[in-house]
Chains A and B, each alone.
Chain A
């Protein structure tokens, strides 16, 4: 009797502490590897670290160096250009495909498989494939020239004014199927009775989509924006594999800038400052989006 009750008390005690104990390694890891490391990088960005880290306070010299660096501004402008176009085209293509696929299509499963498989690929593979397709001597340009359009040129990959757009092409190819899947899931989640009621009222299908279905996708829309801007800001492997940031620095992005200054050029301080700028960008973009997402999710 007393034995079983003490066992009961013991297990009650265990049940009180076990959950915290189980969670604690992950929490500790998060405190060190996420929060601690962000603080560490932040500190480095205020020192004169070059080849080796130093920890004496030096003020904002690294940020000054960063903002006076033309290459940084090229990278930032490219991010804006690439990010904007990448998000725009992914949204357009993804939404269009989702609406088309929602028309009781016969081979829907097979088509979805085809649209989504690029998501399973590494960005390095995608970059390699498109680097070959866009090769000005032997790629798509040659295909069109062979068709008889001898003046046709498509040299974006080696053209400093156009190289960043090749990243958009490959990025949209990789990610738009995913956007389609999210929108399609959203469309399928909408109550059928709304559509039926609208049809009874005599609304045509395009009107139903424009006025009812697509507006009710608002929460999905914000999720998609969130994910796409996240992918865009972090994009590194795709650019490395496709253009390597070139020709010259013409398709440089902040992630490549950070990597090269921190790890190949021995400019730790500048690298740390650029990493902090990337963090600020993510926060500045994601926080308002998350706020809008939760608000619109509550309303629907």
Chain B
């Protein structure tokens, strides 16, 4: 029906365009608001372009805006998030790679059951581990530190990364590994010489997934970090929801975009892998 009728096709395109506008509208409003002056915001229309494009809100959001008692903007928290995300992504991805290798290529008695046991970690609501984790981080002296957050993200991210690599390696033909074993190749040789060279795509998928998850996390950040060590999502929430003095919506929006930039950038550059990660994480094996 749609293929022949031009009216039908026009309707399809119209509906799709309308949806595109719906999805883009908040981004448009955030961007334009961040370049407006406060007077412009108060007098003008939310959907209008800035009367005068001004970058002041951006520099304020980066370096001066108040996120509670401190008024140093988002910059420190941005670096906190980077210092937290990079090691957590690297460690959880590497662990996931070798774990996935074991549970797909080196199955032993009970390994399937152990894998299922690991997977449960993907489904629990994290609220159920927050209180003990807070206690443990306190004992270890890691409360309110970036190192503590890295530990938390590695511990609860590895179930996902293991799942990613397991689902990828399970599609590799067994013969490849069997032949290598007959030739005398050991556990690590097979991993480094045969599997790693073909693992590029799944590494990209896994790294993007973990990066997005950890950068965007709010729950662990707000519970396990305080003040100086907070990640950027927590700082953004503090900035937006602590109302001292005049509410500066343009600064709020600039700060929100700053917090979103790294993941948006990754999405723009590697969107294909991002989608693959989402579907792989969703349609579990």
Contacts and interface: CB of A to CB of B under 8 A. Distances in A.
Interface string A63-81: 0000000000000000000
Given A128-B252, A182-B279, A262 B130 contact: yes
B146 to A, nearest CB: 18
B11 to A, nearest CB: 9
Nearest to A116: B275
A255 B253 CA distance: 26
A62 to B, nearest CB: 12
Contact of B236 (A36, A124, A130, A258): A124
Nearest to B190: A15
Given A105-B16, A135-B249, A182-B279, 18 more contacts: A19-B108, A26-B162, A30-B118, A33-B129, A40-B132, A53-B131, A97-B19, A103-B3, A115-B23, A120-B263, A121-B263, A143-B47, A178-B278, A204-B1, A237-B233, A240-B218, A244-B241, A262-B130
A171 interface: no
Interface residues of A, number: 99
Contacts of B106: 15, 18-19
Contacts of A276: 128
Given A146-B45, A276-B128, A120 B117 contact: no
B41 A34 contact: no
B22 A237 contact: no
A142 B29 CA distance: 14
Given A26-B118, A131-B240, A206-B1, A125 B256 contact: yes
A223 B281 CA distance: 10
Interface stretch (B52-60, B67-75, B153-161): B153-161
Contacts of A34: 120-121, 124, 129
B222 interface: yes
A212 B161 CA distance: 35
B260 interface: yes
A187 interface: no
A17 to B, nearest CB: 9
A133 B253 CA distance: 11
A205 B240 contact: no
A236 B125 CA distance: 11
Contacts of B130: 258-259, 262-263, 275
A129 B22 CA distance: 13
Interface stretch (A84-92, A158-166, A190-198, A278-286): A278-286
Contact of A205 (B2, B257, B282): B2
Interface of B: 1-3, 9, 12-13, 15-16, 19-20, 22-27, 29-30, 33, 41-42, 45-47, 95, 98-99, 101-103, 106, 108, 111, 114, 117-118, 120-121, 123-135, 155-156, 158-159, 162, 181, 184, 186-188, 212, 215-219, 222-223, 233, 236-237, 240-241, 249, 252-253, 255-257, 259-260, 263-264, 266-267, 271, 274-275, 278-279, 282-284
Contacts of B27: 117, 129
A111 B17 CA distance: 8
B125 A37 contact: no
Interface in A11-52: 11, 14-15, 18-20, 22-23, 25-27, 29-30, 33-38, 40-41, 44
Contacts of B271: 113, 116
A132 B30 contact: yes
Contact of B158 (A15, A29, A127): A29
Given A105-B16, A125-B256, A259-B222, A120 B264 contact: yes
A271 B120 CA distance: 22
B129 to A, nearest CB: 4
Contact of A278 (B125, B135, B156): B125
A292 interface: no
B26 A129 contact: yes
A200 interface: no
B218 A125 contact: no
A107 to B, nearest CB: 9
Contact of A38 (B99, B128, B162, B255): B128
A138 interface: yes
A43 to B, nearest CB: 9
Closest 7 CB pairs of A and B: A122-B216, A237-B218, A19-B106, A120-B267, A37-B129, A40-B132, A37-B132
